[in-house]
Amino acid sequence: MPHAKLEVKGVYSEVSDFSTARTKFKPAAFTLTPDEYMHLEIDTPFTLDTGMFGAITLLVIKNSSSTPITARIDTDGTVDVDVIIPANGIFATPDVKVSEDLVLTPATGTPKCEIFIVGT
């Protein structure tokens, strides 16, 4: 049986070596037992038909470039949500409606990004 896990850890400090951390953040991991997954390394602009999935329980987009990328998604409660993923930033959500396309649009050029989708 396949498994997927997303872990987030954060530290805030006044100094760049984090020796005097003011706060640390490490919640429990978000775990899934998916039966579908897809991993893509692509150039943007890019459109993905999400209808090939029964349901998307986790979408992660990593912007691997030095320019922002806009991700347009539909969630169960909204239509055409534009999320700006900053340069070298990451966006993750468990709430993606599969009836609409995922559309990635760069601010400039054809930057690279990674997409990881887990479905059930």
Reported residue count of the chain is: 120
pLDDT at 44: 94
Percentage with pLDDT > 70 across the chain: 99
How many CB atoms within 10 Å of residue 7?
A: 10
- Exposed/middle/buried for residue 93 (C-beta within 10 Å: 0-12, 13-18, 19+): middle
Model confidence band, residue 66 (pLDDT cutoffs 50, 70, 90): very high
- Beta-bridge mates of residue 6: 30
Q: According to the model, what pLDDT value does residue 18 have? A: 83
Highest mean pLDDT among 10-24, 40-54, 69-83, 89-103: 40-54
How far apart are the C-alpha atoms of 70 and 54, rounded to whole Å? 24
Looking at the domain covering 32-119, what would its CATH class be? mainly beta
